[in-house]
Amino acid sequence: MSIMKANALTVFFTPAMVADSQSFSPSAMKPLQVVESWKKLRVTLDFRKPDRATVEEFCRAHDEKFVRDVLSLRTENGFGNRSKAVAESLPWTTGAMRSAAMHAWKNETAAAAPCSGFHHAGHAHVSGFCTFNGLMVTAFALHAAGAKKVGILDCDHHEGDGTEQIIGRLRATEWVDHFTAGANYSHERDVSRFFKALPNVLRSMGDCDVVLYQAGADPHLNDPLGGWLTTDELRERDELVFDTFAAQGTPVAWNLAGGYQKEADGSIPKVLEVHDNTLLACANAFVSRAD
């Protein structure tokens, strides 16, 4: 059963999600830049402040000592430092993902969380610019609220190894359906095989209460940490994801995931273009046109 289109696309954002990570990755600074870019698009957006993720919610997916050590700056975050600004942003980035997922599930629609830095974080470790696994924190929050099955569609360039580790460690395989493209698709030779397999993956998640979609920009051919899909192919990926989920009635909450193309002045226009295209694909599938 297809989903009825909404009047606006709900985006969960607060400036509190933004931090200077003092690292190569632009991810912690990206939310504000992405939102400012989205505001220039001809899409009706409903911006809402997310609820902060709590220590209790983090501890459903992570070791409690690990959680408290990160938040109190006793151990390094995923960017390899003990930045207070990063620590203060973490409950908001995960909170945005959780808020978007709850909204999408309860309203049978799509919602966006302009955040990153989740899928490499394991039960008690940081990795690859990821501190807490907001995907799994969100999945456990949904499960605690009554969701019987949660899908995680991870189309970042890199494998969601932290997500997989938490799923296995906490025995969540029966109710979490996890697909991580980075495990099997990462080269130009994989493009046709990926697009042949993706429709079946999307259909297999049709029985999920909600899907968490990582619409990574780092698979782009020119990304310094990626490199196998063109801008048009990334757009095709997103259109296929959102059109299929809308047609089969699958709610979806999505985030930005990776994207590392930077200009000499530090700006990220190529990354913003990919994220703009993701928003447009989602709006086309889930939002009614004003005209």
Does 202 reside within a domain?
Answer: yes
Does 101 reside within a domain?
Answer: yes
Token representation of residue 84: 């207070």
Please choose, from the candidates 27, 10, 28, the residue with its C-alpha nearest in 3D space to the C-alpha of residue 19. Answer: 28
| Residues in the chain with pLDDT values less than 70 | 290-291
Please choose, from the candidates 99, 9, 28, the residue with its C-alpha nearest in 3D space to the C-alpha of residue 256. Answer: 28
Per-residue pLDDT at 291: 52
Domain of 146, CATH number, reads 3.40.800.20
* Domain span holding position 211: 9-286
- Total domains in the fold of the chain: 1
Per-residue pLDDT at 290: 58
pTM of the model: 0.97
Does 2 reside within a domain?
Answer: no
Does 280 reside within a domain?
Answer: yes
- Do the beta carbons of residue 102 and residue 142 sit within 8 Å? yes
Does 4 reside within a domain?
Answer: no
Please choose, from the candidates 72, 55, 74, 73, the residue with its C-alpha nearest in 3D space to the C-alpha of residue 63. Answer: 55
The contacts of residue 197 (CB under 8 Å, 6+ apart) are none
DSSP string, the chain: -PPPPBSSEEEE--GGG-----SS--TTTHHHHHHHHHTTSS--EEEEPPPPPPHHHHHHHS-HHHHHHHHTTSS--TTSS--HHHHHHHHHHHHHHHHHHHHHHHHTSEEEE-----TT--SS--BTTBSS-HHHHHHHHHHHTT-S-EEEEE-SSS--HHHHHHHHHTT-TTTEEEEEGGGT--SGGGHHHHHHHHHHHHHHTTT-SEEEEE--STTBTT-TT--SB-HHHHHHHHHHHHHHHHHHT--EEEE--------TTS--HHHHHHHHHHHHHHHHHHB----
130 conformational bin, left if phi > 0, alpha if psi -120 to 50, beta if neither: beta
Does 291 reside within a domain?
Answer: no
Q: Cα dist. 228→74, 153, 157, 166 in Å?
A: 38, 18, 9, 28
**Max CA-CA distance within the chain?**
54
